Amino acid sequence: MKIRTLFGAIATVFAACVFAASAFAQAPTDGPVDGQLVRLDAKKLWRFAFLQNVPIQQTQQIGSHVMSASISPDGSQVILFERTQPHQPNILHRWADGKTAKILESHDVSSYIDWIGDDQIDIREMSAPFFRDGGKLRYEVSAKPRFKTRLPYADSDFVVYDHDDVIILESKKTRTLQAISDPAADRYFAPILSPDERFVAFSGLRTGVLVFDIEANAVVFIGANGTDPAFSPDGRYMVYTDTRDDGHVYTQGNIVLVDLKRRTYRILANPNDEIRLRATISRNAEFVSYTTINGDAYRAKIDK
């Protein structure tokens, strides 16, 4: 992969988005929006420096036939999501201490899992993982997980969700709703709020991964060809997968590690050219988990 072409691709995508947005400049937005539409502005994009590829070591295969893997903040555990046949319950597996075991079967759980410390997880409900009226199921994680409670999706100071392919940021303090994606430029989906509530990451069908800085009120990063962003527990780091496809299936997938504090990005070394997908990282970006196009799951140590 020609890593240094990343920002060339961003420039191309950005130019197309600005052109499409220009006709929308004075048009009203659809959806429950109180604040002004946030449009892409090249002057507000941060400049990120590319550093050399970063090696990974101690790579372990921890599961197979899974759709996603979510690593704990300390990197000692990974929850694996297995999507089964239609009308069959989804399955969660837990990897810890070198062993993988099934811990839960349920129709209600989705692959979108957030760790709450090192011993609890919130699982977004399958019916509405990114919508305002969705919910989260909280479990204690152990050899025998225990259901604790159902929580509303909107249980923090800021709430982000999809509304007709537009990303909405809701502030409970100011009681305002704001469209932080431009519906004239792309169709957007799957927003996530960073644990420190400073950033929102979401995906566009054409644009890739975008990061919105809440305080700056602007999109500050575009990861062209990016999918499936995930933040570290402190919000400093983000990973996503830079993918290519042939119109039908993925042909390439590399994990990009972004340092939002130092404004740098690196590619996790991939000597075997695996098609990697859906990465998550532990505290301080020490460990990473990811799946491959074949449904295998791995955990590795990042050699920063």
CATH fold for domain 3-302:
Neuraminidase (2.120.10)
For residue 12, which of 183, 213, 222, 256 has the smallest C-alpha distance?
Answer: 222
Q: Please name the residue that has the structure tokens 């999501």.
A: 81
Express each pLDDT in 210-250 by its tens digit: 999 999 999 999 999 999 999 999 999 999 999 999 888 99
For the chain, domain boundaries = 3-302
Q: What does the block give as tokens for 105? A: 């079967």
What pLDDT digit, counting tens, does each position of 41-69 carry? 888 999 999 998 999 999 999 999 999 99
| H/E element, 196 | none
**β-pairing verdict for 146-152 and 49-50:** unpaired
Q: What is the mean pLDDT of the chain?
A: 85
Structure tokens at 113: 């899992």
The Cα 231–Cα 204 span in angstroms is: 17
Which pLDDT does position 1 carry in this prediction?
A: 44
Helices (H), 45-200: none
Adjacent-strand bridge partners of 276:
292
Query: pTM value?
Result: 0.86
Q: Give the model's pLDDT for residue 7.
A: 46
Closest by CA position to 231, among listed 198, 272, 208, 263: 198
